[in-house]
Protein backbone atom coordinates (compact mmCIF):
# COMPACT_ATOMS: atom_id res chain seq x y z
CA UNK A 1 0.00 0.00 0.00
CA UNK A 2 2.79 2.37 0.99
CA UNK A 3 4.68 1.67 -2.21
CA UNK A 4 1.57 2.17 -4.34
CA UNK A 5 1.10 5.59 -2.72
CA UNK A 6 4.71 6.49 -3.38
CA UNK A 7 4.39 5.53 -7.05
CA UNK A 8 1.17 7.53 -7.37
CA UNK A 9 2.85 10.55 -5.79
CA UNK A 10 5.92 10.22 -8.00
CA UNK A 11 3.91 9.87 -11.20
CA UNK A 12 1.77 12.83 -10.13
CA UNK A 13 4.90 14.90 -9.62
CA UNK A 14 6.19 13.78 -13.03
CA UNK A 15 2.95 14.87 -14.74
CA UNK A 16 3.23 18.26 -13.01
CA UNK A 17 6.86 18.50 -14.14
CA UNK A 18 5.85 17.72 -17.74
CA UNK A 19 3.01 20.23 -17.61
CA UNK A 20 5.50 22.81 -16.35
CA UNK A 21 7.88 22.29 -19.25
CA UNK A 22 5.09 22.34 -21.84
CA UNK A 23 3.60 25.48 -20.37
CA UNK A 24 6.38 27.79 -21.42
CA UNK A 25 6.03 31.36 -20.40
CA UNK A 26 6.21 34.93 -21.50
CA UNK A 27 8.16 36.42 -24.35
CA UNK A 28 9.31 39.71 -22.91
CA UNK A 29 11.14 42.19 -24.98
CA UNK A 30 11.93 45.58 -26.31
CA UNK A 31 11.79 47.02 -29.78
CA UNK A 32 14.41 49.62 -30.66
CA UNK A 33 13.78 51.87 -33.63
CA UNK A 34 16.08 53.41 -36.22
CA UNK A 35 14.86 56.32 -38.32
CA UNK A 36 11.33 56.11 -36.88
CA UNK A 37 10.01 58.69 -34.45
CA UNK A 38 8.43 56.31 -31.94
CA UNK A 39 8.77 52.71 -30.73
CA UNK A 40 5.11 52.74 -29.68
CA UNK A 41 2.33 50.81 -31.43
CA UNK A 42 4.54 48.21 -33.07
CA UNK A 43 2.93 44.78 -33.41
CA UNK A 44 5.09 41.85 -32.30
CA UNK A 45 3.79 38.37 -32.97
CA UNK A 46 4.68 34.71 -33.27
CA UNK A 47 4.45 33.83 -36.96
CA UNK A 48 2.54 30.81 -38.30
CA UNK A 49 3.69 27.57 -36.62
CA UNK A 50 4.11 24.65 -39.04
CA UNK A 51 1.45 21.98 -38.49
CA UNK A 52 -0.49 24.09 -36.00
CA UNK A 53 -3.89 25.62 -36.70
CA UNK A 54 -5.67 27.74 -34.16
CA UNK A 55 -9.48 27.82 -34.11
CA UNK A 56 -11.07 31.23 -34.65
CA UNK A 57 -11.43 32.95 -31.27
CA UNK A 58 -15.01 33.26 -29.99
CA UNK A 59 -14.16 36.47 -28.17
CA UNK A 60 -14.73 39.63 -30.22
CA UNK A 61 -12.39 42.62 -30.23
CA UNK A 62 -13.72 46.18 -30.16
CA UNK A 63 -12.16 49.08 -32.04
CA UNK A 64 -13.71 52.36 -30.99
CA UNK A 65 -13.97 55.58 -32.91
CA UNK A 66 -13.72 58.10 -30.14
CA UNK A 67 -12.75 61.78 -30.12
CA UNK A 68 -12.04 61.50 -33.83
CA UNK A 69 -9.55 58.67 -33.41
CA UNK A 70 -9.47 54.92 -33.88
CA UNK A 71 -8.84 53.39 -30.44
CA UNK A 72 -6.63 51.46 -30.21
CA UNK A 73 -4.59 52.92 -33.06
CA UNK A 74 -3.10 49.47 -33.74
CA UNK A 75 -5.05 46.30 -32.93
CA UNK A 76 -3.50 42.87 -33.45
CA UNK A 77 -5.94 39.99 -33.82
CA UNK A 78 -5.69 36.31 -34.54
CA UNK A 79 -7.00 35.21 -37.94
CA UNK A 80 -10.73 34.51 -37.74
CA UNK A 81 -11.37 37.16 -35.08
CA UNK A 82 -14.51 39.26 -35.35
CA UNK A 83 -13.78 42.94 -34.78
CA UNK A 84 -16.68 45.13 -33.69
CA UNK A 85 -16.25 48.67 -34.93
CA UNK A 86 -17.95 51.02 -32.48
CA UNK A 87 -18.76 54.70 -32.94
CA UNK A 88 -18.64 56.61 -29.64
CA UNK A 89 -18.68 60.09 -31.17
CA UNK A 90 -21.70 62.33 -31.67
CA UNK A 91 -20.91 62.44 -35.40
CA UNK A 92 -21.24 59.78 -38.07
CA UNK A 93 -18.04 57.83 -38.80
CA UNK A 94 -17.24 55.53 -41.69
CA UNK A 95 -14.84 52.57 -41.68
CA UNK A 96 -13.12 51.28 -44.78
CA UNK A 97 -9.79 49.80 -45.77
CA UNK A 98 -8.39 50.10 -49.30
CA UNK A 99 -6.43 46.83 -49.08
CA UNK A 100 -4.98 44.24 -46.70
CA UNK A 101 -1.18 44.32 -46.96
CA UNK A 102 -1.50 45.85 -50.42
CA UNK A 103 -4.02 43.32 -51.76
CA UNK A 104 -6.78 45.53 -53.16
CA UNK A 105 -9.09 42.55 -53.67
CA UNK A 106 -9.46 42.54 -49.87
CA UNK A 107 -10.63 46.17 -49.76
CA UNK A 108 -13.86 46.64 -47.83
CA UNK A 109 -16.22 49.46 -46.89
CA UNK A 110 -18.41 48.91 -43.82
CA UNK A 111 -20.43 52.08 -44.40
CA UNK A 112 -21.21 54.97 -42.09
CA UNK A 113 -23.12 54.79 -38.83
CA UNK A 114 -24.06 56.96 -35.85
CA UNK A 115 -23.04 57.07 -32.19
CA UNK A 116 -23.55 53.97 -30.08
CA UNK A 117 -23.75 51.52 -32.98
CA UNK A 118 -21.31 48.73 -33.82
CA UNK A 119 -20.56 46.89 -37.03
CA UNK A 120 -18.84 43.52 -36.93
CA UNK A 121 -16.34 42.18 -39.44
CA UNK A 122 -14.53 38.84 -39.30
CA UNK A 123 -10.90 39.08 -40.45
CA UNK A 124 -9.99 35.85 -42.23
CA UNK A 125 -7.02 37.11 -44.24
CA UNK A 126 -3.55 37.59 -42.81
CA UNK A 127 -1.97 41.02 -43.10
CA UNK A 128 -2.48 44.64 -42.14
CA UNK A 129 -5.72 46.47 -42.92
CA UNK A 130 -5.23 50.23 -42.99
CA UNK A 131 -8.42 51.64 -41.43
CA UNK A 132 -9.75 54.93 -42.75
CA UNK A 133 -12.87 57.04 -42.36
CA UNK A 134 -14.13 58.70 -45.51
CA UNK A 135 -15.87 61.43 -43.47
CA UNK A 136 -12.66 62.44 -41.66
CA UNK A 137 -9.55 61.97 -43.80
CA UNK A 138 -7.24 62.62 -40.82
CA UNK A 139 -8.43 59.44 -39.05
CA UNK A 140 -6.35 56.30 -39.37
CA UNK A 141 -5.87 53.00 -37.60
CA UNK A 142 -4.72 49.45 -38.29
CA UNK A 143 -5.88 45.89 -37.79
CA UNK A 144 -2.98 43.46 -38.01
CA UNK A 145 -4.21 39.91 -38.59
CA UNK A 146 -1.77 37.19 -37.50
CA UNK A 147 -1.78 33.39 -37.55
CA UNK A 148 -1.31 32.69 -33.83
CA UNK A 149 -2.80 33.86 -30.52
CA UNK A 150 0.67 34.98 -29.41
CA UNK A 151 1.05 38.71 -30.01
CA UNK A 152 1.45 42.10 -28.35
CA UNK A 153 1.71 45.80 -29.16
CA UNK A 154 4.61 47.89 -27.84
CA UNK A 155 4.16 50.61 -25.25
CA UNK A 156 5.63 54.09 -25.65
CA UNK A 157 9.12 52.82 -24.76
CA UNK A 158 8.98 49.86 -27.15
CA UNK A 159 8.39 47.27 -24.41
CA UNK A 160 6.08 44.32 -24.92
CA UNK A 161 5.01 41.07 -23.25
CA UNK A 162 3.48 38.10 -25.09
CA UNK A 163 1.82 35.89 -22.48
CA UNK A 164 1.23 32.12 -22.22
CA UNK A 165 3.48 30.95 -25.03
CA UNK A 166 4.09 27.17 -24.92
CA UNK A 167 7.71 26.08 -24.85
CA UNK A 168 9.12 25.78 -28.36
CA UNK A 169 11.06 27.32 -31.20
CA UNK A 170 9.32 30.17 -33.00
CA UNK A 171 9.75 33.02 -35.44
CA UNK A 172 8.89 36.43 -34.02
CA UNK A 173 7.89 39.14 -36.45
CA UNK A 174 7.04 42.79 -36.24
CA UNK A 175 4.65 45.03 -38.11
CA UNK A 176 4.82 48.80 -37.84
CA UNK A 177 3.25 51.75 -39.54
CA UNK A 178 6.54 53.20 -40.74
CA UNK A 179 9.21 50.54 -40.45
CA UNK A 180 10.18 47.40 -42.31
CA UNK A 181 9.18 44.08 -40.73
CA UNK A 182 11.81 42.59 -38.42
CA UNK A 183 12.21 38.84 -37.85
CA UNK A 184 13.86 36.99 -34.98
CA UNK A 185 14.13 33.31 -34.08
CA UNK A 186 13.24 32.69 -30.44
CA UNK A 187 13.40 29.69 -28.11
CA UNK A 188 10.78 29.75 -25.39
CA UNK A 189 11.43 27.60 -22.30
CA UNK A 190 9.48 27.17 -19.07
CA UNK A 191 11.25 30.34 -17.94
CA UNK A 192 9.98 32.24 -20.99
CA UNK A 193 12.26 34.25 -23.24
CA UNK A 194 13.74 37.70 -23.37
CA UNK A 195 14.41 39.38 -26.72
CA UNK A 196 15.42 42.63 -28.38
CA UNK A 197 14.33 43.57 -31.88
CA UNK A 198 15.27 46.48 -34.08
CA UNK A 199 12.82 48.03 -36.51
CA UNK A 200 14.27 50.35 -39.14
CA UNK A 201 12.69 52.69 -41.63
CU1 LIG B 1 -14.79 59.67 -38.97
3-state secondary structure 111-173: EEECCCCEEEEEECCCEEEEEECCCCCCCEEEEEEECCCCEEECCCCCEEEEEEECCEEEEEE
161, 26 Cβ separation under 8 angstroms: yes
- Residue 51 Cα to ligand 1 midpoint, Å, equals 41
User: Cα(119)–Cα(168) distance, rounded to whole angstroms?
Assistant: 37
pLDDT averaged over every residue in the chain: 92
Instruction: Output the pLDDT for position 33.
Output: 98
pLDDT digits (tens, 9 = 90+) for 86-99: 999 999 999 999 99
- Residue 111 Cα to ligand 1 midpoint, Å, equals 11
User: Cα(99)–Cα(9) distance, rounded to whole angstroms?
Assistant: 57
Mean pLDDT computed over 6-14: 51
Regarding pTM above 0.85, the answer is yes
Q: Which residues surround ligand 1, an ion (CB under 5 A)?
A: 93, 133, 135-136, 139
Q: What is the DSSP letter of 105?
A: G
Report whether pLDDT(17) > 90: no
User: Cα(56)–Cα(103) distance, rounded to whole angstroms?
Assistant: 22
Pick the residue with more confidence: 18 or 186?
186
Amino acid sequence: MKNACRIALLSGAFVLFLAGTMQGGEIKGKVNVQGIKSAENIAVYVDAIAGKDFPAPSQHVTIDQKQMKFAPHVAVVQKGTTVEFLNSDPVGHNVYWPSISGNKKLAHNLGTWPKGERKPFQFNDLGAASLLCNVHPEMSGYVVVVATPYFAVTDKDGNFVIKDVPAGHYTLKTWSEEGKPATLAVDVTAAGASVTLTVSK
